[in-house]
A and B are shown apart, each in its own frame.
Chain A
Amino acid sequence: EAGVAQSPRYKIIEKRQSVAFWCNPISGHATLYWYQQILGQGPKLLIQFQNNGVVDDSQLPKDRFSAERLKGVDSTLKIQPAKLEDSAVYLCASSLTNADTQYFGPGTRLTVL
């Protein structure tokens, strides 16, 4: 069974630029999560989807971050414009339902200069 796929693995941009990350969850998993992991900290949930609907986006900085999961499968997370403090690893995870174990992708390491 293929795991959660993410791309790109690494991205370097300058502040005020835009960036997008892509996630392909495990086939059949209805729930998808985006986490932000700042160096030296644990992952922090940004947004949770159940199929193509948002369940929780309470910690998503909506003035600059957006995410979508239009067909209930793949998802993209966008930052526009990026700030220095957005430098982090962005992790995508999926689970069969919202009551099951979450499986994580390898993450995208973003560096904002």
Chain B
Amino acid sequence: AQSVTQLDSQVPVFEEAPVELRCNYSSSVSVYLFWYVQYPNQGLQLLLKYLSGSTLVKSINGFEAEFNKSQTSFHLRKPSVHISDTAEYFCAVTIPGAQKLVFGQGTRLTINP
């Protein structure tokens, strides 16, 4: 079975500072990896995903994540955060073809002015 660990439950940063949200996974087979974002009082939205190919994937709003197979990690980064990035971020894993998403516990990102 697959599992996901998000190492930080809360991450406070100042506006325009860089941020990294950590995600590690466990699986005995190849996986697909996802980051979802949940803004206050809204549903989850897909931020970015890794299926195959380039290990560095990017979102349209400046986030990026790198798949590291040897370290079983898929950390999310942004070089300069904005107040509007305040949200909860969830890392998720699935097996190709299974489509059953297994989510981590979530990391609450708080941006201070």
Are B42 and A95 within 8 A (Cβ)? no
Do A91 and B90 have beta carbons less than 8 Å apart? no
Q: How many residues of A contact B (CB 8 A)?
A: 23
A-B CB pair tally, cutoff 8 Å: 50
CB of A105 closer than 8 Å to a CB of B: yes
Give the B interface residue count (CB, 8 A).
22
- Say what secondary structure dominates the interface of chain A: loop
List A75-109 residues whose CB lies under 8 Å from chain B: 91, 93, 95, 98-99, 101-107
In the bound complex, residues from chain A placing their C-beta under 8 Å from that of B6 are 42
Minimal Cβ-Cβ distance residue in A for B92: A42
A101-B49, A102-B101 are known; give 10 further A-B pairs, CB within 8 A.
A3-B43, A4-B43, A42-B90, A42-B104, A42-B105, A93-B44, A98-B97, A101-B46, A104-B43, A104-B45
